[in-house]
Amino acid sequence: LLVGAIFLSGCFSLSVHPLYDEDSQAYEPGLLGLWGDPDNEETGSWEFLPLGDHAYRLIIREGNNLRVDPETDGVFEAHLVRLNGHLYLDLFPEEPPMGNDIYKSHIVPAHSFWRVKLEGHVLVLGLFGSSFLEKALEDGTITTSHIMREGVLVFTAPTSEVKDLVARFSDQVFDDGETMKRIQQ
C-alpha cells in the first residue's frame, strides 16, 4: 500500500537505467525479512528475500501475511546501492505473468529509487521524486536527460549520470520516508 499510495499521489520519479553498477552495489543481511506495521495487518508489507550475491527479491503485499496474491502484490528485483555513505534501493519489476510476447514487448519497465535508513528492526524508506526535481529541471539547475510520461518524470540518462544526480541532490530529491518495523526475519 505504501507504494500504491505514493505512486497515486504523483510525487515520484522513475529511471530507464539502474542506479547501481558493480562499484556501488551493497548488500545488508539485516534487510532480509518481512517489514510493515505489526499493529495494523491492513497496511501492507515488504518482504526481502535473498536473490544471488548482491540482490534481493522483494514482494510488496497488501497485508502482513506471507501469502502472495498475484492480483494485488508486486514482485521486484531489488539492489542496494551505497553512494557517499548513504544507502539507496533500486527496484525493478519482475516480468508480469500475463499476455503474449507481443503484448509484453510493449511494457517498458522502469527503476524506482528509495533512500534507505536501516537501524536494527526499523526501516525507513524515502521515495525518489519531489517538486524540487521538476523545478530544478525547469530552471536548468539539473540537466539530466528525462521525459515526462503521463505526469511522471522518467529519467533517460545512463546510470553514471543518475548516480551523480542522486549523490549531489539526495537531501532534496527524496521524501522524508515511511517507517516500517520488522515483523519477521
Tens of pLDDT, residue by residue, the chain (185 residues): 444 444 444 578 999 999 999 989 999 999 999 999 888 877 889 999 999 888 999 999 886 666 667 677 889 999 999 999 999 999 999 877 677 788 877 788 899 999 999 999 999 999 998 789 999 999 999 999 999 988 899 999 999 999 999 999 999 999 888 899 999 87
Report the greatest alpha carbon distance in the chain.
47
pTM of the model: 0.88
Q: Which residues are CB-contacts of 119 (< 8 A; sequence separation ≥ 6)? A: none
**Apex CA 86: angle with CA 63 and CA 164, to 5°?**
110
Residue type at 4 in one-letter notation: G
CA 101/CA 71 separation, integer angstroms: 20
Give the whole-angstrom CA distance, residue 78 versus residue 26: 11
